[in-house]
Amino acid sequence: MTDDRERLRELLPSWEARPPAEDVAAVLAGVPAVAIADSVLDDDEPFWRREVCAQALAGRVPAERAAALAAHVCDDEVGFKVGRALVAALDVPGGPYSAMLRARALERGNYYVAEKLGARSLLDAAASGDATALGLLAVLASSPWRHLRLSGEEAIDELIERRGLPALLATLGTDSPEGLARAGARPAERLLGLRLVWRAGGDIAPFLGDGSVPVSRAAYDLLIAGYGDDAPLLALVEAGLPGRLWALPILHERGHDVRPMWERLGSPRVEVPGVPPDVREAIVRRYTPGQAGTDPLWLIEAALLDPPPPPEEAREIRDERLRAARAALAGAGLGPREPVPAGEHMRSGHGTYHVISTDAGTVRVSTLGPYFACAKDARVARALRDAGFRHIDDALGGITFTGLAVYFFGSRAPLTVHDLLFHWQD
């Protein structure tokens, strides 16, 4: 087997030497399929070699590696091109591994695999009664990516037109949208039920208490936009039912004083040890409501903050802060240049900081408060601290803001204090 892997590397020595897709099968025809599959599964292999090997598996997936390949393609870390080639090799209509792949993708709720399978092909399969395909359409419709979500929703709507809502619900083991929203086997199915209840004008407040944060968040997003009345939300809070924490920021948005309600619940909040109150407040103001995985306690905390200053006043405060930082650096004899916004400094995108170049190196000054980082020279740090700025050093900057999901280059995970105060997005 080692010799076969070495032969693969000889046949595919570099990115530049890889064969065109139409020639891959011929180039690797003499290499055993198991060795090719093992190269795909080996994360130490460069992605381009794994992609070519995945392409070479079309029509020759080894049975003894099929389960591993199906699991591998559902791994969130697999690159798009490798995953696409693996899906093409495994999802052959009538082939032996298509059902295995779809079942694994459904089990993991992997909307990337659902995308690669294709909304149209899943729609046709679901119309024939394939519950796995319908489940994957629901997974696609649960994606945080808008274009994927719309693709899944449109396919499900077409499926309802083709077969009727009762038949669709029966495929998922229920007879009503409410039943699906309450007891669907997977979060994506409950999210589909929630959407159907909402479209029919039903009460979605109970689904704020779903055990899956994305489902609860979907209900929150609809209710915060003004859908539904207040009584079911107040009932959740007063009865101490699941979903009460999501209900509080919605009620606040609708004009209720929620602080006494929150205090009766014990004033719960997310603890992030080591983060000063002013830093915490600056981050909460900037990033809530966050992405779909955000803990509702952050939404409550944001709701209970004092109102921010008007936009014009906020701009004046930011500009004055930058002038003060530059003056402090100039007073220390460090020759500061004009502050440059993060997007301009990075030549694209936008961010929450400015860069000031000095004779002693560069420093980042946050737009969210009097915070600076990346001071490589002690004179820079001393000058800014003396001017009232807080140094976001490695200890403070490295603390993860638990439960606050923030978008960052395709990821929607909690970030560190440093990455939040000095955030840049292309």
pLDDT tens digits for 34-71? 999 999 999 899 999 999 999 999 999 999 999 999 99
Domain end position, chosen among 249, 272, 304: 304
pLDDT tens digits for 101-160? 999 999 988 988 999 898 998 999 888 888 889 999 999 999 988 999 999 999 999 999
Number of Cβ within a 10 Å radius of residue 198: 20
Are 208 and 234 within 8 A, CB to CB? no
Q: Is the dihedral of CA 142, 143, 146, 148 positive or negative?
A: negative
pLDDT reported for residue 8 = 87
User: Rounded to whole angstroms, how far apart are CA atoms 50 and 125?
Assistant: 29
CB neighbours of 17 closer than 8 A, spacing ≥ 6?
none
The b/e string for 335-359 (b: 16+ C-beta within 10 A; e otherwise) is: ebeebeebeebeeeeebbbbbbbbe
Segments of 186-330 assigned E as strands: none
Number of Cβ within a 10 Å radius of residue 145: 13
Rg of the chain over Cα atoms, rounded to whole angstroms, equals 27
User: Rounded to whole angstroms, how far apart are CA atoms 211 and 29?
Assistant: 49
| Same domain as 44, residue 152 | yes
pLDDT reported for residue 232 = 95
Mean pLDDT over the full length of the chain = 93
pLDDT reported for residue 246 = 97
Are 399 and 131 within 8 A, CB to CB? no
pLDDT reported for residue 280 = 98
pLDDT tens digits for 62-71? 999 999 999 9
Bond from prior residue into 289 cis (ω within 30 degrees of 0): yes
| Same domain as 109, residue 149 | yes
- For residue 147, give the amino acid letter: H
| Same domain as 340, residue 295 | no
Q: Say whether 117 sits in a helix, a strand or coil.
A: helix
Which of 381, 366, 376 lies closest to 423 in space, CA to CA?
366
Domain end position, chosen among 164, 198, 232: 198
Residue 1's pLDDT band, with cuts at 50, 70 and 90, is: low
Domain end position, chosen among 198, 213, 234: 198
User: Rounded to whole angstroms, how far apart are CA atoms 293 and 388?
Assistant: 35
| Same domain as 173, residue 43 | yes
Residue 387's pLDDT band, with cuts at 50, 70 and 90, is: very high
Q: Any idea what the CATH number is for the domain that residue 85 is in?
A: 1.25.10
| Same domain as 282, residue 214 | yes
Query: Pairing between strand 350-351 and 424-425?
Result: antiparallel
Q: How many distinct structural domains can be found in the chain?
A: 3
Identify the DSSP state of 96. S
| Same domain as 322, residue 175 | no
| Same domain as 228, residue 289 | yes
Number of Cβ within a 10 Å radius of residue 406: 22
| Same domain as 300, residue 320 | no
pLDDT reported for residue 191 = 96
| Same domain as 363, residue 286 | no
User: Rounded to whole angstroms, how far apart are CA atoms 202 and 200?
Assistant: 6
pLDDT tens digits for 173-224? 999 999 999 999 999 999 999 999 999 999 999 999 999 999 999 999 999 9
| Same domain as 376, residue 336 | yes
Q: Show contacts of 197-200: CB within 8 Å, 24+ apart.
A: 198/222, 198/227
User: Rounded to whole angstroms, how far apart are CA atoms 249 and 85?
Assistant: 44
User: Rounded to whole angstroms, how far apart are CA atoms 228 and 72?
Assistant: 43
pLDDT reported for residue 231 = 95
Domain, as residue range, for 335: 311-425
pLDDT tens digits for 388-400? 999 999 999 999 9
| Same domain as 153, residue 47 | yes
User: Rounded to whole angstroms, how far apart are CA atoms 279 and 4?
Assistant: 56
pLDDT reported for residue 243 = 96
Is pLDDT above 80 for 317? yes
| Same domain as 315, residue 290 | no
Half-sphere exposure in the Cβ direction for 126 (13 Å, CA): 34
Are 359 and 417 within 8 A, CB to CB? no
